[in-house]
Amino acid sequence: MLGKKLVTAQKRGETRALCLGLGMVACSMMMYFFIGITIVPFYTKSVWTTETVCKVLKASIKNKAFCPNSEGSEDEEIFPYPCLQVWVNLTASGQEVMLYQTEDTLERNPKCSYVPDKLENSKEVKARIETIASNFKKYQTFPCYYDPGGTQTNVILSRLYPSKGLLFAFLWPTLMFTGGCLIIVLVKISQYVSVLSAWQ
């Protein structure tokens, strides 16, 4: 009687472990799919792939620009921000080009090198942009990314999805997939050993 209870408990444990392993594999596949349709297209779409050194030529704050996210709204003029323009010398080609913070900055406003995310407090935004401008004037040389194919003549300060970030994004689903497969393999080995022991 006790032996039957132990066998039943063992089967229940194996079933739960098998469901856990299958669930981990399914979740990892969903994460792979999500990363594949969100992050990977932005990574492959970016043409700024080669790192070089940029030297600041001039960093100036022009007339105020408007938040691109508020276009068409009645409160558009409530959220202006100073338009920072940074021109650098690209050491790879010796050209004078405009610097943008990321790929997204160029799409949101091609006239400004920096577009703030939140424009709720205009004083904080103004102070932040002035600080960024002073940092560019202070640190004249820094790494940047350019398009080796020549499609884009401008450069960016940092990529939204660098190679390390993409590898880190794939790390967790890979660990989950490996753990799920390991659990399934261990359960199958346990079942095989149980059947072999019962047969002997």
Instruction: Give the per-residue pLDDT at 44.
Output: 81
Residue-wise pLDDT tens for the chain (200 aa)?
Answer: 444 554 555 677 778 888 888 999 999 999 999 988 888 888 888 888 888 899 999 888 887 666 554 444 444 444 678 889 999 988 767 788 999 999 888 888 888 898 887 655 778 888 888 899 888 888 888 999 988 887 888 899 988 887 787 888 899 999 999 999 999 898 888 878 777 776 76
Contact (Cβ atoms closer than 8 angstroms) between residue 144 and residue 51: yes
Q: How far apart are CA 199 and CA 141, in angstroms?
A: 74
Burial of 66 (0-12, 13-18, 19+ CB in 10 A): middle
Tell me the backbone φ, ψ of residue 86, rounded to 5 degrees: -120, 120
Closest by CA to 57, choosing from 85, 89, 84, is 89
pTM of the predicted structure, to 2 decimals: 0.68
| Chain centroid offset of residue 174 CA | 17
Instruction: Give the per-residue pLDDT at 162.
Output: 79
- Buried-state track 171-180, b at ≥16 Cβ within 10 A, e below 16: eebeebbeeb
Q: Where are the alpha helices (DSSP H) in the chain?
A: 2-45, 103-108, 122-138, 163-199
Residue 193, helix vs strand vs coil: helix
Instruction: Give the per-residue pLDDT at 79.
Output: 61
